[in-house]
Amino acid sequence: DAEITQSPRHKITETGRQVTLACHQTWNHNNMFWYRQDLGHGLRLIHYSYGVQDTNKGEVSDGYSVSRSNTEDLPLTLESAASSQTSVYFCASSPGPTDYNEQFFGPGTRLTVL
C-alpha cells in the first residue's frame, strides 16, 4: 500500500548540530510539505515543494532548508539546531494539479534540541 514515512521517529540532538529529518512517500504525489506542531500553535508550515527541484518557504522557514531531487523524498535540514526548534515535525503530501488538495500525513518526528 502507498504510504508516507518519516525517520527517525524520535531524535535528541545538541544545540548547533546539523540535523536532517527524512520524509518518503510512495503515492507519487507532486506536492510535499513540512510542518511543525507546538502546543497552542497548531501546525505551522515550514517549507513546501510542488515538484522536483521546486522548493518554497512557508510561514516559519528560518533555520530550515529542504531540497527535492526526486518525487518521493523531501528531507528537512536544520542547519544549526536551536532549542526553539524542539517540536514535533510532520511531513505531508498531496496530489496535483487538482483543486481537491487533501493532504496525507506521516506519523511525525519528535525532535528535542538540548
Partner 1 sequence: SQQGEEDPQALSIQEGENATMNCSYKTSINNLQWYRQNSGRGLVHLILIRSNEREKHSGRLRVTLDTSKKSSSLLITASRAADTASYFCATSWMDSSYKLIFGSGTRLLVRP
The residue within the footprint of partner 1, chosen from 25, 87, 90, 113 (CB under 8 A), is 90
The residue within the footprint of partner 1, chosen from 31, 36, 47, 85 (CB under 8 A), is 31
27 near partner 1, rule: CB under 8 A:
no
- For residues 31 and 39, what is the distance between their CA atoms, to the nearest angstrom? 26
- For residues 104 and 93, what is the distance between their CA atoms, to the nearest angstrom? 5
Specify the pairing of strand 31-38 against strand 42-51.
antiparallel
DSSP label at 11? E
Q: Which of residues 36-75 bind partner 1 (CB under 8 A)?
A: 40-45, 48, 50, 58
Asked if the peptide bond before residue 8 counts as cis, ω within 30 degrees of 0, the response is yes
Binding segment toward partner 1, per CB under 8 A, in 16-24, 65-73, 74-82, 101-109? 101-109
Binding site for partner 1 (CB under 8 A): 31, 33, 35, 40-45, 48, 50, 58, 90, 92, 94, 96, 99-108
